[in-house]
Amino acid sequence: QLQLQESGPGLVKPSETLSLTCSVSGGSISSTGYYWGWVRQPPGKGLEWMGSLSYSGSTYYNPPLKSRVTMSLDTSKNQFSLKLTSVTAADTAVYYCTRHRPPAPLTVWGQGSLVTVSS
């Protein structure tokens, strides 16, 4: 059974870069047709899809975040990562890593990682 686990700093200073990693177990990120992505949820608010990418190189980012987001895969570690630059307090959220296989929805989720942006 595929499992995802987020990891990374829980506190990031304003204007710095938020970096998270999602470790994949029970499956390979090199599997054909699957997309690996991120969803975030500010405290007490709704869900925001940030983007996803595939092993083949296809990448989709949510336009409002596109200028600040980079997602990548590390096949040697079976992990994928998220980088979000120039963070502000508005980027404080629980960040979930996800997997889906288009045209299916987000079927697998990590447990989530709270990142707080504060000095």
Residues within the interface to another protein (CB under 8 A): 46-49, 51, 60-63, 96, 100, 102-107, 109-112
CB of 103 to another protein, least distance (A): 6
Looking at residue 44, what DSSP letter applies? T
Residue in 105, 100, 84, 88 with CA at minimum distance from that of residue 21: 84
User: Is omega for the bond preceding 63 within 30 degrees of 0, making it cis?
Assistant: no
Least distance from C-beta 112 to another protein, angstroms?
6
Identify which of residues 6 and 91 has a Cβ nearer to another protein in the complex: 6
Buried b (16+ CB within 10 A) or exposed e, 16-35: eebbbbbbbeeeebeeeebb
Nearer to another protein, 81 or 113 (CB): 113
Q: Pick between residue 16 and residue 41 the one whose CB is nearest to another protein.
A: 41
- Minimum CB separation from another protein for residue 97, in Å? 10
